[in-house]
Structures are given as structure tokens and as C-alpha cells.
Amino acid sequence: MSLRNILPLISILTSLLHASPQAGADDQPNILFIISDDQRPDTIGALGNTLIETPHLDTLVKQGTTFTRAICANPLCVPSRAEILTGSTGFRNGVHPPVNMPDLSSPTWPGIMARAGYRTFHVGKWMIAGRPSTRGYQESLGLFASGKRPEWPQFDSAGRVVTGYRGWMFQTDDRTLNPDLGVGLTYDISSKFANAAIEFIKRDSDAPFFLQVNFTAPHDPLLDPPDWLDKYPESSIPLPANFKRRHPFDHGNLQGRDERLNSIPRKKADIRRDLATYYRVISDMDEQIGRILSALDESGKTENTLIIFTSDHGLALGSHGLMGKQNMYEHSIAVPLIFKGPMIPTSESRDAQCYLRDLFPTVCDYCGIEIPTEVEGTSLMPVLDGSLEEVHQFVIGYYNDKQRMIRMGAWKYIYYPAINKEQLFHLATDPNELKDLSNHKLTQQLKAQLREEMVIWLQNHGDPLFQQ
């Protein structure tokens, strides 16, 4: 039997052997799930960034377990969030070309939690078809969705015309609009998400909760929070190690909205300016996360709450001459992923490869809830408790019909179907992906093996590009 066939069996057997830390208990653990938007994993102080101030995320890192090789399989907001919601690939949940229509029949993470007796609550960004109530959330205080009204400000902190989140505003699930909370992204939007989360935490209830807080930070438009204006002078901001003025070839999105947010070719001063504001927005979000965590402490619920922090994907911001997330480089597919709570090891990290869609089955496993058969993700509990080093032999990435990727061990292979181009990187010695080894004579067999594994996986999961 091949390793490809053995790994899923190992995962299943391990799940059966592992007792959930709270399974069968009268007092089920609460779940606080926090997602940022467009946040590179190298923007947290405790994870190696010596410039940025993120004291509350740093605390989660120190008090929990961090996955250092977590990825978003499909680096775009809606597809990534659909994978989180369903625990399945875009090929199964429907959020992938050519269909690009969510499968309304798919079990959802909050829906499964609600069936298990949890109070499910959503606040913040919503970009998946339907309303939160149609996806398993019992309440949504401050739903952020399109209100189709003129927004303010019209320009970001760099003076650029705002193109993201135009006309969006807070709504309740019954579509009651709250324009008094602002239209479009405002500099203080993170505090409003935190306010809603805190209000929910303060409620008295005997039932456990599943609280999902979807921040829009640090997604554009980049608006300087007034309290952070004196932080991160542009002259002090180092450029990404893989900064380039242009991307060397058309990767399939050079004319996308994200890529047109900055000068082409990229100017160092412009990238430093945007990075400075990006850092300020993240630090402000971190402050709001601290408020949520303080409210949790004050409620007496921290000791029985599993806290998860991640982002829907990363962002280029000048890396490889790109601005957006629609690419397979590490700065865009890699995401921060932190677990903190009962039975979670403290001050530890895991280098196991994993997906955002693994979160759904992981939390089910943690809480002793049966994982739906439709879920394609894999529980990370065996990795968290140290009984397994890996649950995935490799991870696969895909964007539109333009890019495919496999990352196995230290190696990463990227394929661009539209232009029949390949890239091969050895991440252990080249973490910034600057040295393409795809044409090296000594890597041809390895490249062929990686491509074969990738194609087999994509075929088995229904990728229309590789159907025979």
C-alpha cells in the first residue's frame, strides 16, 4: 500500500484512539475563532517580526501552540472562507471556477456546532453567499455586508481612491442596516467588531458558545488608525527580502484589482508607505483582540475556551513585484495559525503542514463532535497532542485556472497552466523563493514526481483542469 493510501487511514485510526479533552463532559469548551483579513504570517512579534507591536497575539503564541506551515489552499477571500466554513475544497463546496457557486447543502462548521448544543454567533466580514443564518449561525450582530450606499472616506491614507468594500455596512441578519456604524471600511472598524464580540461574551448562558470574529484588518483600503500614527515611520520599514520592481512573468493576475493598488513598476517608497500603514492597522486590530480577551477573562470563561487565531490568506505587498494575494508564494498562501486553550500545549510550535479547512474537523475532534463525512479536512488533534508529526504528506494550492501548487517537505512546485510554466523552490535553503530550480538538471526527476503527486490529487478531488 502506498503512503498516499496509508495516511488517511492513519488519520482515521488516530481520531478513534484519541479522547477529546472535553468529550462527554457536562461543561463543553467554548470556541473563540478570530480571523484577520490579508495578514501575512510574518507580521506577529512573537513569530519573529522585531518591528511590529502585537502584544496580545504574542501572548496567544506564548500561551498556546503555533502551526508554522499552515496554508490557505485558495488565496482569495471568498474561496478561502468557504473552505473554512465547509471543511472542504473549492472543488467540492462549489466556490471555484467554472461553477463558483456555493453548495448550499454542504454541512457547515457553525451548523454542526449548533446541532451539538452550541450558541453560534458571527460578527464581521461576510462574503459567502446567503446570510449567516443560512450557514449555521444563530445570530449575527453587526454583519458587515454590502449596503450599496456611498461610503466614507473616499480615499485611503495614501490618497488613493478607495476600491475595496465600497458601500458595505453593518447589518443584522434580517438585513436591518446600521449606517451609523459607518459605510465602507473606516479606521475604527476593528473596534466595532470587538464591541459586538464583547457584548456577546458578557451574556449569561449555560450553553457553550461558538463565537467567530471576522476582522477586515489589514485588508485595503489602508486607513491609519489615529492612535498609531506615530508608530512605524516609513523610513524604518524594511522592504520584503524578496522585493522586486516587477513580477518576471504573467502569473495570471497582473491586471487584477489588488495589483493595481500601487505603482507599476513598484517603487520602494510606495511599498514602505503601505507596509507602515499595514503594520499600524494590524497593531490596532491586536489592541481590539486584547479587549476581547480581557472581556473573556472578566466573564470567567477563559479557562474553558479554545481560542483560535488565523487569517484567510497572506498578501504580497511588494514581494516578488506583486501586491495581492492571488499567487502561490509563501507570503500569500501561508497564514498564521495559533491554538490556545484547555489541553493545548503552551509555548510550542508545530511544523506540520496543514490547511485552513482542517480547522472544522479539528474543533469537532476537540469537542467530541462527530465529523461529517462530507468534510475533506483532517483533524490536527494528533499533531497538537504530539502523537503524530504530520497528517498530510503534502499540501496542494490552487487559484482560478491559472495556478497550481504542491508543497512536500522542503520542496515546492508551482505550475501555471495558461503559460505552461513551472517553478521549483527548496524552501529550507531559499525561504524567500528567489532561486527557481525547475530547469536544473539535478531536479528533473524530483520535479516530475512532485507534478505527478499534484496531478493525481487534483484529479481525485475534481479539479476540472485535470479531468480525463
Least confident of 94-103, 163-172, 254-263: 94-103
| Residue-averaged pLDDT of the chain | 92
> What is the spatial distance between Cα 406 and Cα 457, in angstroms, rounded to a whole number?
10
Q: Which of 378, 394, 410 is the last residue of a domain?
A: 394
pLDDT, position 79: 94
pLDDT tens for 170-224 read 888 888 888 888 889 999 999 999 999 999 999 988 999 999 999 999 999 999 9
Say whether both 163 and 283 belong to one domain.
yes
Say whether both 150 and 218 belong to one domain.
yes
For 185, the domain range is 3-394
Say whether both 193 and 301 belong to one domain.
yes
pTM of the entire predicted model: 0.93
Burial of 186 per CB tally in 10 Å (0-12, 13-18, 19+): buried
Query: 91 phi and psi, to 5 degrees?
Result: -70, -30
Integer CA distances (angstroms), 242 to 237, 246, 266, 272, 369, in order: 14, 11, 13, 14, 43
C-alpha cell at 149: 450606499
Q: Which of 373, 394, 415 is the last residue of a domain?
A: 394
pLDDT tens for 401-436 read 999 999 999 999 999 999 999 999 999 999 999 999
Q: Which residues lie below 8 Å from residue 285, measured CB to CB, with a gap of 6+?
A: 36, 190, 215, 217, 218
Say whether both 373 and 330 belong to one domain.
yes
Say whether both 106 and 72 belong to one domain.
yes
Number of domains in the chain: 2
Q: Single out the residue of 80, 195, 187, 188 nearest to residue 142, CA to CA.
A: 195
262 pLDDT higher than 70: yes
CATH code: domain of residue 430: 3.30.1120.10
> What is the spatial distance between Cα 292 and Cα 342, in angstroms, rounded to a whole number?
18
> What is the spatial distance between Cα 190 and Cα 182, in angstroms, rounded to a whole number?
12
Say whether both 279 and 256 belong to one domain.
yes
C-alpha cell at 435: 532561486
Q: Which of 375, 394, 413 is the last residue of a domain?
A: 394
> What is the spatial distance between Cα 146 and Cα 127, in angstroms, rounded to a whole number?
9
Pairing label, strands 119-125, 209-214: parallel
Say whether both 273 and 258 belong to one domain.
yes
Say whether both 156 and 27 belong to one domain.
yes
328 CB neighbour count, 10 Å cutoff: 25
CATH code: domain of residue 181: 3.40.720.10
> What is the spatial distance between Cα 452 and Cα 194, in angstroms, rounded to a whole number?
46
Say whether both 95 and 149 belong to one domain.
yes
Say whether both 350 and 411 belong to one domain.
no
Integer CA distances (angstroms), 74 to 82, 89, 90, 401, in order: 10, 9, 8, 11
Say whether both 317 and 430 belong to one domain.
no
Q: Which stretch of DSSP H or E encloses residue 398?
A: strand 395-399
pLDDT, position 6: 41
Say whether both 319 and 454 belong to one domain.
no
CA angle 369, 370, 372 (to 5 degrees): 130
